[in-house]
Each structure stands twice: as C-alpha cells, then as structure tokens.
Amino acid sequence: MALTLRELRINIGWSITRLGIEAGVARQAVKNAENGQPIRAETAKSIVDALGKALGREILVSEIQGLNVQ
C-alpha cells in the first residue's frame, strides 16, 4: 500500500519545515505537495530524495500516493 507524503513525513518524525530544509525547498512547497496541489517535478524529486535519505532507501515519486506532479 502506498503512503501519502504526510504519512511518510510523520513516520520519520519530521515537521513540514524540517522536510523543506532537508529537501532544499520552501516550506510552502511541501505544504502544497501534501495538500495535492500541483508541484514541479524537480520539487517532487528533491522531496522524495530527502525522505529516501532519512529512511535509508530509494523512494520514487510514483511510490507516494497523491502527489500532483506537473
């Protein structure tokens, strides 16, 4: 079962702000992504790379339920 971005973020114990910092993107970009608003492919990749690093495994953008990548 695929997890949402919010579920993954909470599972690793990060706030929206922390994920933004770790991904090198604006906090608002993370918030938009969690709310299903369109985000750029580069932003999505930065976010999933940060999550993958925290989890110690590669995560693909397609594995996260509800991401609206433009």
CA–CA separation, 51 and 49 (whole Å): 5
Q: Which CATH class is domain 3-69?
A: mainly alpha
pTM of the model: 0.93
Q: What is the CA radius of gyration of the chain?
A: 10
Tens digit of each residue's pLDDT (9 = 90 or more) over 2-58: 899 999 999 999 999 999 999 999 999 999 999 999 999 999 999 999 999 999 999
Counts of helices then strands in the chain (DSSP H, E): 4, 4
Q: What are the residue ranges spanned by the domains of the chain?
A: 3-69
Residue 1 has pLDDT above 80, yes or no: no
